Amino acid sequence: DVLADQIAAGEVIERPASIVKELVENSLDAHSNRIDIIVTQSGLGQIRIIDDGDGILPDDVEIAFKRHATSKIADPHDLFRIKTLGFRGEALPSIASVADVVLTTAADDDRGTMIHIKGGEILSTKPAAARPGTDITVSDLFFNTPARLKYLKSPQTELAQISDIIDRLALAHADVAFSFTHNEKELLRTPGNGNLQQVIAAIYGITNARKMVPFSDEDPDFSISGYTSFPEITRSSRQYISIIINHRYIRNFQLTKAIIQGYGSKLMIGRYPLSVLLIELDPVLIDVNVHPAKKEVRISKEGQLQQLIAGAIRKVMAQQNLIPDV
């Protein structure tokens, strides 16, 4: 029912950036190679996501907007080995309960569907011409929940949040070509060729990307890799550190600390590197079902992982010393 969907929306859909995150994650779960994100007015005009993924079959389109009707979890054990970004079946119904949504989708060439749903009410569902993939437009956000609208920050802040989440998703999926356009201006484009350094260059600039060194290591439980900046390329904030576990961007204070520890005394107090850390682990070692937005996770053997990270960074930083200053 619409009320339950709106309550769920309160947990999952805080702001325009949450919608972008949920929709792009759906595109990624649908094996898209290309994801185009087109936004106006910091998400309060329109949020449109076009992907070339699996699409949705005609019979499944209305079901996709029903709560907990996820196609991603078949039996309860799946909850303990989650490989998709979504699994709660809450995003689409939540978004549709607080906005105007038009979704056009096709799983194959000749069976496209268009659905229009606003405030949780289906206004129309009909066959439509569509390329394989999904094209979703969200507008009139929070039209029926004015308290949420009031709670939003300035347009610049909301846009920065959208940009930030797209950056992290692009870093976590170097093999997917992303584009992000805001008010007709292209803000990001990644090649989608699997080259992480090129994604870093697209986000942080080519000069910064050249001043980052690759690192990698593994033990029986974890495999880590990524890029981290020379000790002289630092920022006054931790937010240029991205930690990605099994292609999911997460926040974790202990792992962030492990990166910083790897620099030892090379990093001045209050300065933080630019880093992208990719971690691969068996999904049984991670619990992503802690928070609806899945930003916080619980990791088993976290201490062991911290040591692996700090050690890998320490190693590349020691090699940096061999290069004489010029």
Q: Which residues bind Mg ion (CB under 5 A)?
A: 26, 86, 91
Minimum CB distance to ligand ADP smaller for 101 or for 171: 101
Minimum CB distance to Mg ion smaller for 72 or for 238: 72
Minimum CB distance to ligand ADP smaller for 125 or for 307: 125
Helix/strand/coil (H, E, C) string of 105-117?
Answer: EECCCCCEEEEEE
Q: Does 53 bind ligand ADP (CB under 6 A)?
A: yes
- Among 9, 15, 43, 87, the residue binding ligand ADP under the rule CB under 6 A is 87
Q: Smallest gap, in angstroms, from Cβ of residue 290 to ligand ADP?
A: 15
Q: Do the beta carbons of residue 172 and residue 141 sit within 8 Å?
A: no
Q: Which stretch binds ligand ADP (CB under 6 A): 9-17, 64-72, 247-255, 289-297?
A: 64-72
**Closest CB to Mg ion: residue number:** 86
Residue 148 binding result from Mg ion, ligand ADP, none, given CB thresholds of 5 to 8 Å by partner type: none
Q: Does 113 bind ligand ADP (CB under 6 A)?
A: no
Minimum CB distance to ligand ADP smaller for 73 or for 260: 73
> How many of the chain's residues bind ligand ADP (CB under 6 A)?
22
Helix/strand/coil (H, E, C) string of the chain?
Answer: CHHHHHHHHHHHCCCHHHHHHHHHHHHHHCCCCEEEEEEEHHHCCEEEEEECCCCCCHHHCCHHHCCCCCCCCCCHHHHHCCCCCCCCCCHHHHHHHCCEEEEEEECCCCCEEEEEEECCEEEEEEEECCCCEEEEEEECCCCCCHHHHHHCCCHHHHHHHHHHHHHHHHHHCCCCEEEEEECCEEEEECCCCCCHHHHHHHHHCHHHHHCEEEEEEECCCEEEEEEEECCCCEECCHHHEEEEECCEEECCHHHHHHHHHHHHHHCCCCCEECEEEEEEECHHHEECCCCCCCCCCEECCHHHHHHHHHHHHHHHHHHHHHCCCC
- Among 47, 91, 259, 279, the residue binding ligand ADP under the rule CB under 6 A is 91
- Among 104, 134, 228, 306, the residue binding ligand ADP under the rule CB under 6 A is 134
Minimum CB distance to Mg ion smaller for 210 or for 291: 291
Question: Per-residue contact track with ligand ADP, 4 to 43, x per CB under 6 A?
Answer: ------------------x---xx-xx-------------
- Among 16, 43, 89, 112, the residue binding ligand ADP under the rule CB under 6 A is 89
Q: Phi first, then psi: give them for residue 88, nearest 5 degrees.
A: -90, -15
- Among 86, 112, 192, 226, the residue binding ligand ADP under the rule CB under 6 A is 86
Minimum CB distance to Mg ion smaller for 94 or for 234: 94
Q: Smallest gap, in angstroms, from Cβ of residue 156 to Mg ion?
A: 27
Which residues lie near ligand ADP (CB under 6 A)? 22, 26-27, 29-30, 51, 53-56, 64, 70-72, 86-92, 134
